[in-house]
Amino acid sequence: MRICVIVEGCYPYVVGGVSSWVHNLIRSFPKQEFVILSIVVDRSWRGKFVYDLPDNVTEVHELYLEDSDWGKKKKRHKKRMDKKEYHALRSLLLNQQVEWETLFDLFQYENFSISDLLMGEDFLKAVTEYYNLSYSQIIFSDFLWTMRSIYLPLFLTLKMKLPKADLYHSLSTGYAGVLGSMAKHIHGGRLLVSEHGIYTREREEELIKSKWIQGIYKNIWIEQFRKMSQLAYTKGSLITSLYEHARELQIELDCPPEKTMVTPNGVSVRNFQRIPGKQEEDEGKINVGAVLRISPIKDVKTMIQAFGFAKEQEPALKLWIMGPWEEDKEYAQECFELVDAMNLQDVVFTGKINVKDYLGRMDMTLLTSISEGQPLSILESFAAGIPVIATDVGNCRGLILGDRDDYGSAGIITHIMNVEEITAAILKLAHNESMRHEMGSIGLQRVKTSYEAEQMRETYRNIYCDFASSMGLAWKDENTKQKQ
């Protein structure tokens, strides 16, 4: 079976999180052929892989959402859409029941320039009608250019030439969900959607907090992401999520309940059982580890501030921020400058590392994100027997306090961006070694029971086998006999 994995903004360009999940999934099934379809911002990302691709990855295709060549190559054979095509375009812009199949055929089979479409009469006519119906109180020229900026990445997505596969596995809704839905329409096969975070809600949170777009235009962008997600929920054969509350959110967003399935993350506990422990340089130190990529969504600034206030009361504390900073160099520089401005000692930025080389040295780990799914960094800490302090986002509460067992607390939950609470949590664990050991043991027990990598692998083996069987295809790996 040929599987096309569709990812947005992660694998194979960014380490950690979803990227690690994808990499491990592909390596789990070495006898299956995988194709990667990766969505990135622009051509500056082209080919800049940070992973050595497994041997069973045969192709990598890239989609650029801000492509500088979008209007230069192709010319339309016809100047105007026919009635059916225009009606489909209108349904998309006016947020009616979108005629996606007509749009798929239009963009995949007609030879035209996206520039011509966005600057042409059909798009102008549909935008004008939408404006008169809903937004006539604002300046039309601003509205028109906003609509062009909203629809450019979607139209580039719809123009993407798709590799043929038996199963399309989209790791989110949004643009990845559009590609998966369109590929299913064009090539047949099935569509599996695995959400690690609820895409619509994450984009909504980002837009509400954003400064680059103001006022009523935020609502238009949010609606755009909602209808793309609705497409994936409608066309997907199976929609998975990492924990029960995420599944409930999918259903709230009109995903058919009968399509949903919870498939928790997993880590290999064995890989964290014999990792290096405390080093000579750690003597007298209480090490706080943060395994993350340095980016605004991880709220590293709040982490640094909370650590700084905690260190004033407990000088033995040392913060290890473990992960790359190249993804957002401007934000990373702001974090470095904050450490300098606070005159903080014992803050180490390691850059990209093998987490197993450092994690065993930590007394606790810290996650201050403003948005998460089911963080692998928490599961890895548990596998190493280390307690976790985390903000109450995604499934962090369920992992730390236990939503699948009654073992007890494996750490401390705080509110997002609450420096005082995070400071207090760091100090509480710093001053209570027996609590750290007890919580670390609970975390280890929890991950062994419910979040082992083999459990996750078996879940996806069964999903893939079921899809293969339903299509009359063969599935074979090192632990299963060939199925027809």
pLDDT by residue (tens digit) across 48-87? 999 999 999 999 999 999 886 444 454 544 557 999 999 9
Taking only the tens place, the pLDDT of each residue in 227-264 is 999 999 999 999 999 999 999 999 999 999 999 999 99
Phi/psi region, residue 47 (left: phi>0; alpha: psi -120 to 50; beta: rest), is left
Residue 213: predicted pLDDT: 77
SS3 content of the chain, % helix, strand, coil (to 5): 50, 15, 35
Q: Which residue has the tokens 């994690």?
A: 359
Q: Is residue 455 within 8 Å of 449, Cβ to Cβ? A: no
Both structure tokens of 210: 């954003």
pLDDT of residue 347: 97
Backbone angles phi, psi at 399, to 5 degrees: -65, -45
DSSP codes of every residue in 231-280: HHHHH-SEEEESSHHHHHHHHHTT--GGGEEE----B-GGGGSS-----G
CB atoms within 10 A of CB 288: 26
**Distance separating alpha carbons of residues 150 and 92, to the nearest angstrom:** 12
Rounded Cα–Cα distance for residues 395 and 357 (Å) = 26
The pLDDT value recorded for residue 477 is 66
On whether the CB atoms of residues 127 and 85 are closer than 8 A, the answer is: no
State the pTM of this model.
Answer: 0.90
How far, in whole angstroms, is CA 396 from its chain's centroid? 15
d(CA 410, CA 269): 16
233 Ramachandran zone, left/alpha/beta (phi>0; psi -120 to 50): alpha
Q: Report helix, strand or coil for 424.
A: helix
Task: Please give the pLDDT value at position 475.
Answer: 82
Query: Cis peptide before 12, with omega less than 30 degrees from 0?
Result: yes
pLDDT of residue 80: 78
pLDDT of residue 96: 87
Q: What is the pLDDT of residue 478?
A: 58
What pLDDT, on a 0 to 100 scale, did the predictor assign at position 371?
Answer: 87
| CA 409, chain centre distance (Å) | 27
Measured CA to CA, the distance from residue 128 to residue 221 in angstroms comes to: 17
Domain boundaries, the chain: 2-68+162-262, 269-450
Sheet architecture: strand order including 317-322: 347-351, 317-322, 286-291, 364-367, 388-391, 411-414
pLDDT at 208: 81
If phi > 0 it is left, if psi is from -120 to 50 it is alpha, else beta; for residue 480 that is beta
Give yes or no for a contact between 90 and 52, defined as CB atoms under 8 angstroms apart: no
**Which of the residues in the chain have pLDDT under 70?**
68-79, 477-484
Pick the CATH number of 269-450 from 3.40.50.2000, 2.40.10.10, 3.20.20.70, 3.40.640.10: 3.40.50.2000
CATH number of 2-68+162-262: 3.40.50.2000
